[in-house]
Structure 1
Amino acid sequence: MVYFSSASENTARFVAGCRFQDEGINVYRVPLKASEPALNVREPYVIMVPTYGGGVIKKAVPIQVKRFLNDPENRAWIRGVIASGNTNFGEAYCAAGDIISAKCHVPFLYKFELMGTPEDTAAVKNGLVQFFGTLEPR
């Protein structure tokens, strides 16, 4: 699991609630600041991202995530995407997931609003355990 969380830490709290490590799933965070060392992931992963842009689809994917995925080695290992968003964004709700799915040719696995619900946390955790269990190398 690779995730990006802004300074609000909403996505970080969601990921912590999933307790992926209890299931043997490694968790990596895309750095928030450009001054932090770049993240290099060399194993299959699903990326979880918040949707930015306040409803402007062109601005939906955080720049930090774009930078991470523009590294061909990182992009080679992506297997799926999960996105959060705000239903107030209308058509742009969870648009970051749509964009990453289309550009990286991976399935958009799940979407949830803001910090998610306990049902979202359980669905994502159980879904990823099952997803990684059936994954074949690319």
Structure 2
Amino acid sequence: MSSPDIFYWSSSSRNTERFVEKICANGMMGVRIGPSSRSQIIARPFVLITPTYGDHDGVGAVPKPVVRFLNDPQNRAHLVGVIGGGNRNFGAMFGFGAKVIAQKCEVPVLHRFELAGTPEDVDIVQNGLARFAPLQAPAPSEMALAV
């Protein structure tokens, strides 16, 4: 069993990118979603890591490049879970983009982290993904890392 690949979007703050670099330090593969992500077609199980954008009502919570990436049916079909970044200052909207994606794509939110994540966040995600069976997705309760 190997871990699923990681695809991520990171803004100019690079918080999500720094988090992915930390969790991929043990050999996992992280691939950045490009601004014109329609050309990225994924043919294997993957976990998506995305920050949350938008206002206090959650409008625009999912970054546009992520929306374009997930608009491809093949990419959606291979998505097995989502991890959301954000800022706890936004209260109920913390990690809201991951919740939106999880609901629309019918996958679990595996974890949420603040800014570039803590060492504990990195451990939780690394350990959770190492247990992940990408070819036979377990029930969402078995996949949940921490929310």
TM category (shorter chain) comes to 0.7 to 0.9
Partner amino acid, structure 1, of 2:9: F
Compared CA separation, residues 68 and 134, structure 1 to 2 (3 A): closer
Percent of pairs identical after alignment? 43
Match of 1:11 in 2: 16
RMSD between aligned residues: 2.0
Match of 2:43 in 1: 42
* Deviation per residue, 1:113-133 (Å, 9 max, x gap): 1111011111111111112x3
Match of 2:96 in 1: 95
Partner amino acid, structure 2, of 1:43: R
Whole-angstrom distance in 2 between the partners of 1:89 and 1:110 = 17
2:112 is the counterpart of 1:121 = no
Partner amino acid, structure 2, of 1:45: F
Match of 2:31 in 1: 28
Match of 1:80 in 2: 81
Compared CA separation, residues 111 and 137, structure 1 to 2 (3 A): closer
The alpha-carbon deviation at position 56 of structure 1 amounts to 3.4
Partner amino acid, structure 1, of 2:16: T
Whole-angstrom distance in 2 between the partners of 1:51 and 1:5 = 10
Aligned length: 133
The alpha-carbon deviation at position 37 of structure 1 amounts to 7.0
